[in-house]
């Protein structure tokens, strides 16, 4: 397994290089002139050209790319065109909150999703199943911003239990993670249910029952474990998405995460921030995929990682 | 059960990582001197929490373009001059000043006994260090305008300084109001920290700034003007309108700005909250490309103005807030003179269109950004002009793309822009920037924002003369004439002037918003 992990880590490098080239080209060729956006609406052409020169945007594209990659190798992500602050400083303050929010949201969403999915599957077509699936459909259907505002109105304004927003300790994570987790919990619940239903039809389950295994052992040790492959895949993908930040939840809760940082930098064509953020998201996704692949072997030892 | 143990292990790790969130946050400051983060509910009488709608970009007063950042800077930093509640120039760190007749020489007599937050003395030397920083530091791109015209800075005495320009520049006096004084010691020894934690002479001093979350300032005991105010203020960027309103209602914030239009009634009816409105210097209009058909004909432009109901505009698009735009500049701008507005008259509009040769109307495009208020405004214009047979196609574009389309046209012939739904704002004391970038012929895109491609030689001459003198009476004459001429030429559909709305808890006093939209909390008190 370690050889496999090492190999996948090395394979990351050419993928990231290709992504860096594609994102660099993409953001430089979309319409919008960062020099003018930074200089402001009452700038004269001379002002705009001064800004362009000051920001190094008048250099040939290839030179700009090589400068960026040279700096990247030394861990230098450049300076934001809008704030003038080092990009790495901006990431440090935004990335950790996003990471914690992701973990918390995924934790309760996965737990609740599994519980609801399993209970629905083993009580198919009875009221726990209906209740579980109505919850799941609601979770996916309710728009995030609406749920967030509703939670703020109830738990912050009326009951005063949680802050209305910002980042002020652990309590600031509760409402945003509930909002973010709702849709994910629903997806995991549905995947778990359908996967469990399929597995529960298998011969080995019938055999286990016939052998006299306790029911909870049949469900948890055997059925659930074999159903988790598809659930882990979905959860992994969701985890990757969440790490990129969630603009809607961050806006509603004024949460200083990566999502809003990226949206704001796109509006201002803040090239260094956009480039580094996209590269970071790509790296996170590749890493998450690797972890999911390794998890498969934990769940089903028959699955072999080809080395 | 092996895999279950592994799963439980994974879950525990997750919880541990999530719980690390609390520990991390207590060290989350990246720029402050202190590491505490008590930015939560201000329950004591000596604290204020203010929720604004956007992030702060920089705390460098010599390099700031957004009102939110400059509002905060104004609590900590002061300039030789400043602005009163109406946006007019007042003396702050300068006891007196004079401008030569040819508008080239500015002489300032400075206040004595003023200290910076770090103990440095405020004097002519300190002013010179500041001015030279703005002149010489090329990275200060947002404020070099004006200061790049300075040819000489001469210290006449410990508290007297003379600044000479290479050529006259009308907005220079506003520039002296906007350029705040930073401690000379900081400029010389630690200028990289200026955007993060500036040191000034203001009533408040910087405490900490956690990017994207909050910025805290506290009372400065050595403030030269004394006075009583709240001891600590925390600013929080809260872009979501509903969240900001919730904070005010819950008491998590004592001031919010701006108040979204749809919540004004609800908040006004609440006994714990007061809602205040102030006319701003933000003018909304639709620029009409006078260089090309069909808008090159003044009758067509006049027809548009007769067809659009300005009162309905305020009711429908601005939720009843604001005032009609009855000149080429908002009423709070210096030298403003009211013009005779176009009354709403559909028949007259149709008549004028027919006289211009378009009895059946025509098709035309309107451009604007993707902001929901802009969309509302453009739909309103579309509906209004539809009444006279003009079919308006709405083209909304993301800001960067829109900017490219407009400023990418190198000559008036290249321009595809016909109508642009947009707003413009300048300092109330800076009539030059409220007029020249919009109406002077040197300001055609890409060199400026004269998207009406308006070219009137007399108007150009009036602006040129007004910018080259310092005699205020003559300037008033020139600008009044300019307003008459341009308004009559009708390069725009004149719409409205925004009112800025801010909400305050009933136990808070002394909080103001000036016409440029800057929040003034120098005298804020909590009962």
pLDDT tens digits, one per residue of A236-261: 989 988 888 788 899 888 888 999 89
| Token pair for A130 | 């209906």
For residue B17, the model assigns a pLDDT of: 60
How confident is the model at residue B3, as a pLDDT?
A: 65
pLDDT at B340 over 80: yes
Rounded average pLDDT over B112-137? 94
Task: For residue B210, give how far its alpha carbon lies from the nearest alpha carbon of chain A (Å).
Answer: 8
pLDDT in tens, A11-55: 888 999 999 999 888 888 888 888 888 777 778 888 888 888 888
Identify all chain A residues contacting B37, using CB atoms and an 8 Å cutoff: 168
Q: Which of B21, B58, B197, B256 to mutate to test the interface with A (most CBs of A within 10 A)?
A: B21
Residue of B52, B240, B426 for testing the chain A interface, max A β-carbons within 10 Å: B240
Q: What's the pLDDT at A78?
A: 85
Q: What is the pLDDT of residue B143?
A: 63
Question: Which position has the token pair 């989350």?
Answer: B28
Q: Are strands B323-324 and B363-368 parallel, antiparallel or unpaired?
A: unpaired
Query: Domains of chain B by range and CATH?
Result: 78-187 (3.90.76.10), 204-272+506-526 (3.40.190.10), 279-499 (3.10.105.10)
Three-state SS annotation for B368-382 = ECCCHHHHHHHHHHH
- Tell me which residue of A284, A283, A282, A261 sits closest to A272, measured CA to CA: A261
Helix (H, G, I), strand (E, B) or coil at B92: coil
pLDDT of residue B298: 96
Asked if the model's pLDDT at residue B449 lies above 60, the reply is yes
Contact assignment for B404 to A32 by CB distance below 8 Å: yes
Measured between CB atoms, does B231 come within 8 Å of chain A? no
What's the CA gap between A129 and A131, in Å, rounded?
5
With beta carbons less than 8 A apart as the criterion, state whether B208 and B215 touch.
Answer: yes
pLDDT of B103 strictly over 70: yes
Q: What is the structure's pLDDT at B35?
A: 32
B27 touches chain A (CB under 8 A): no
pLDDT score, position A40: 77
- Just give the CATH number of A91-303: 1.10.3720.10
SS3 at position B480: helix
Is the confidence at residue B321, as pLDDT, over 80?
A: yes
Between B257 and B12, the higher pLDDT residue: B257
ipTM: 0.74
Taking the Cβ of residue B433 and every Cβ of chain A, the question of whether any pair is shorter than 8 Å is answered with yes
Rounded distance between C-alpha atoms, residue B476 and residue B472, angstroms: 6
Cβ atoms of residues B432 and A44 within 8 Å: no
Where do the CATH 1.10.3720.10 domains begin and end in chain A? 91-303
B24 CB near a chain A CB, below 8 Å? yes
Burial B142-154, CB ≥16 within 10 A → b, else e: bbbbbbbbbeebe
Mean per-residue pLDDT for B385-406?
Answer: 93
Confirm if B179 and B79 have CB atoms less than 8 A apart.
yes
Supply the pLDDT for residue B8: 65
The helix/strand count (H/E) of chain B reads as 16, 21
Query: Which residue has tokens 């359908």?
Result: A194
B382-410: average pLDDT? 93
Mean pLDDT of all residues in A108-122: 93
Average the pLDDT over each of A112-116, B23-27, B250-254, B470-474 and give the range with the smallest value.
Answer: B23-27
End-to-end CA distance of chain A: 8
Kindly tell me if the per-residue pLDDT of B1 is higher than 60: no
The proportion of chain A whose per-residue pLDDT surpasses 70, expressed as a percent, equals 99
Residue corresponding to tokens 């880590």: A9
% of chain B with per-residue pLDDT over 90? 67
pLDDT tens digits for range A151-173: 998 998 888 888 888 887 889 99
Cβ–Cβ gap A173/B21 under 8 Å: yes
pTM of the model: 0.81
Mean pLDDT check: name the lowest of A202-206, B350-354, B504-508. A202-206
B chain contacts of residue A93, beta-carbon cutoff 8 Å: 28, 30, 210-213
Distance of CA A58 to the CA centre of its chain: 35
Confidence label for B148 from pLDDT (cuts 50, 70 and 90): confident
**What pLDDT, in 10s, does the model give residues B468-526?**
888 889 999 999 999 999 999 999 999 999 998 999 999 999 999 988 888 899 889 99
pLDDT attached to residue B322: 92
Residues with Cβ within 8 Å of residue A303, at least 6 apart in sequence: A296, A297
**So what's the pLDDT on residue B16?**
65
pLDDT of residue B378: 97
Of the pLDDT bands very low, low, confident and very high (cuts 50, 70, 90), residue B207 is very high
What is the rounded CA–CA span in Å between residue B4 and residue A225? 9
For residue A168, the model assigns a pLDDT of 79
CB contact B213 to A (< 8 Å): yes
By the CB < 8 Å criterion, does A50 face chain B? yes
B138/A contact by beta carbon, under 8 A = yes
DSSP string, chain A: -HHHHHHHHHHHHHHHHHHHHHHHHHHHHSS--HHHHHH-TT--HHHHHHHHHHTTTTS-HHHHHHHHHHHHHTT---B-TTT-SBHHHHHHHHHHHHHHHHHHHHHHHHHHHHHHHHHHHHTTTSHHHHHHHHHHHHHHHS-HHHHHHHHIIIIIIIS--S-SSS--STHHHHHHHHHHHHHHHHHHHHHHHHHHHHHHTSHHHHHHHHTT--HHIIIIIIIIHHHHHHHHHHHHHHHHHHHT--HHHHHHTT---HHHHHHHHHHTT-HHHHHHHHHHHHHHHHHHHHHHHHHHHHH-TT-----
Res. B37 pLDDT band, cuts 50 70 90: very low
Across chain A, mean pLDDT equals 88
Cβ A165–B407 below 8 Å, yes or no? Answer: no
| pLDDT at position B15 | 63
> Which pLDDT score, from 0 to 100, does residue A224 have?
84
Chain A nearest C-alpha distance from B362 (Å): 30
Q: Do A169 and B212 touch (CB under 8 A)?
A: no
Contact yes or no for A45 and B405 at CB 8 A: no
The pLDDT of residue B248 is 93
Query: What pLDDT is attached to residue B511?
Result: 93
B61-85: per-residue pLDDT in tens?
988 878 889 899 999 999 999 998 8
Round to whole Å and give the CA distance between A70 and B250. 50
Which among A301, A223, A286 has a CA at the least distance from the CA of A16?
A286
Query: B405 touching A, CB under 8 A?
Result: yes
How would residue A209 be classed by pLDDT, with cut points 50, 70 and 90? confident
CA dihedral A302, A306, B4, B10 (to 10 degrees): -170
Decide if A84 and B243 are in contact by the 8 Å CB cutoff.
Answer: no
pLDDT at residue A302 tops 80: no
Mutate to test the interface with A, among B213, B369, B402, B438 (most CBs of A within 10 A): B213
Residue of A nearest to B433 (CA): A42
Residue appearing with tokens 């934690």: B197
Residue B34: its pLDDT value, please? 33
Closest Cα in chain B to A171 = B22
Which positions ≥6 away from B413 have C-beta within 8 Å? none
């Amino acid at each position: 397994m370690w050889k496999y992990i090492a190999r996948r880590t090395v394979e990351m490098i050419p993928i990231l290089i290709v992504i860096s080239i594609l994102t660099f080209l993409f953001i430089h060729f979309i319409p919008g002139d960062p020099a003018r956006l930074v200089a402001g609406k009452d700038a004269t052409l001379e002002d705009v050209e001064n800004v362009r020169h000051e920001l190094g945007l008048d250099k040939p594209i290839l030179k700009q790319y090589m400068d960026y990659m040279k700096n990247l190798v030394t861990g230098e992500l450049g300076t934001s065109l809008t704030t003038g602050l080092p990009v790495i400083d901006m990431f440090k303050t935004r990335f950790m909150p996003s990471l914690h929010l992701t973990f918390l949201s995924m934790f309760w969403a996965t737990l609740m999703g599994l519980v609801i999915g399993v209970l629905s599957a083993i009580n198919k077509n009875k009221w726990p199943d209906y209740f579980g699936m109505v919850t799941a459909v609601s979770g996916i259907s309710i728009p995030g911003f609406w749920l967030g505002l509703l939670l703020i109105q109830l738990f912050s304004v009326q009951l005063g239990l949680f802050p209305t927003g910002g980042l002020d300790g652990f309590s600031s994570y509760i409402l945003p993670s509930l909002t973010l987790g709702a849709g994910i919990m629903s997806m995991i619940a549905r995947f778990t249910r359908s996967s469990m239903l399929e597995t529960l039809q298998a011969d080995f389950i019938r055999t286990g029952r016939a052998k006299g295994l306790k029911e909870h052992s049949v469900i948890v040790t055997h059925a659930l474990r074999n159903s988790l492959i598809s659930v882990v895949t979905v959860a992994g993908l969701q985890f990757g998405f969440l790490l990129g930040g969630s603009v809607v939840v961050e806006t509603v809760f004024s949460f200083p995460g990566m999502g809003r940082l990226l949206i704001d930098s796109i509006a201002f064509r803040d090239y260094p921030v956009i480039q580094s953020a996209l590269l970071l998201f790509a790296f996170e996704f590749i890493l998450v995929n690797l972890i999911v692949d390794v998890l498969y072997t934990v769940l089903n030892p028959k699955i072999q990682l080809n080395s | 059960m092996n895999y279950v143990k592994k799963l439980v292990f994974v879950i525990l790790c997750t919880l541990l990582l999530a719980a690390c969130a609390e520990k991390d946050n207590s060290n989350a400051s990246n720029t402050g001197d202190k590491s505490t983060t008590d930015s939560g509910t201000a329950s004591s009488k000596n604290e204020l929490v203010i929720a604004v709608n956007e992030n702060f970009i920089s705390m460098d007063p010599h390099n700031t373009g957004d009102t939110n950042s400059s509002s905060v800077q104004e609590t900590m930093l002061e300039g030789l001059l400043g602005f009163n509640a109406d946006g007019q120039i007042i003396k702050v760190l300068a006891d007196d000043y004079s401008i030569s007749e040819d508008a080239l020489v500015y002489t300032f007599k400075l206040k004595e006994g003023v200290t910076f937050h770090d103990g440095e003395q405020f004097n002519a030397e300190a002013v010179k260090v500041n001015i030279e920083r703005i002149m010489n530091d090329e990275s200060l791109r947002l404020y070099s305008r004006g200061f790049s015209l300075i040819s000489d800075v001469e210290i006449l005495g410990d508290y007297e300084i003379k600044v000479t320009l290479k050529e006259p520049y009308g907005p220079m006096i506003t520039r002296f109001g906007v350029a705040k004084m930073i401690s000379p010691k900081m400029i010389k020894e630690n200028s990289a920290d200026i955007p993060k934690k500036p040191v000034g002479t203001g009533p408040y001093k910087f405490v900490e700034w956690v990017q994207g979350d909050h910025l805290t300032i506290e009372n400065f005991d050595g403030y030269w003007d004394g006075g009583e105010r709240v001891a600590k203020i925390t600013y929080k960027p809260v872009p979501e309108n509903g969240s900001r309103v919730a904070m005010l209602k819950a008491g998590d914030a004592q001031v919010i700005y701006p108040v979204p239009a749809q919540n004004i009634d609800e908040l006004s009816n609440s006994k714990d909250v007061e809602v205040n409105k102030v006319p701003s210097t933000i003018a909304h209009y639709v620029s009409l490309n006078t260089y090309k058909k069909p808008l090159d004909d003044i009758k067509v432009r006049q027809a548009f103005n007769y067809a659009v109901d300005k009162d309905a505009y305020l009711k429908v698009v601005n939720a009843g807030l604001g005032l009609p735009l009855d000149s080429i500049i908002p009423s709070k701008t210096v030298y403003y003179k009211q013009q005779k507005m176009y009354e709403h008259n559909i028949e007259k509009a149709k008549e004028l269109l027919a006289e211009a040769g378009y009895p059946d109307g025509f098709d035309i495009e309107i451009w604007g950004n993707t902001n929901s208020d802009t969309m509302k405004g453009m739909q309103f214009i579309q509906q209004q002009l539809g009444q006279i047979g003009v079919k308006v196609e709405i083209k909304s574009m993301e800001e960067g793309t829109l900017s490219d389309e407009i400023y990418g046209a190198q000559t008036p012939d290249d321009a595809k822009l016909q109508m642009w739904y947009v707003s413009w704002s300048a300092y109330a004391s800076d009539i030059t920037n409220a007029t020249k970038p919009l109406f002077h012929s040197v300001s055609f895109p890409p060199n400026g924002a004269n998207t009406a491609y308006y070219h009137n030689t007399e108007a150009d001459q009036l602006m040129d003369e007004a910018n080259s003198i310092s005699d205020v009476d003559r300037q008033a004459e020139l600008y009044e004439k300019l307003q008459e001429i341009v308004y009559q030429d009708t390069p725009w559909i004149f719409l409205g002037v925004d009112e800025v709305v801010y909400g305050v808890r009933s136990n808070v006093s002394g909080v103001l918003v000036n016409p440029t939209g800057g929040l003034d909390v120098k005298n804020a008190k909590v009962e």
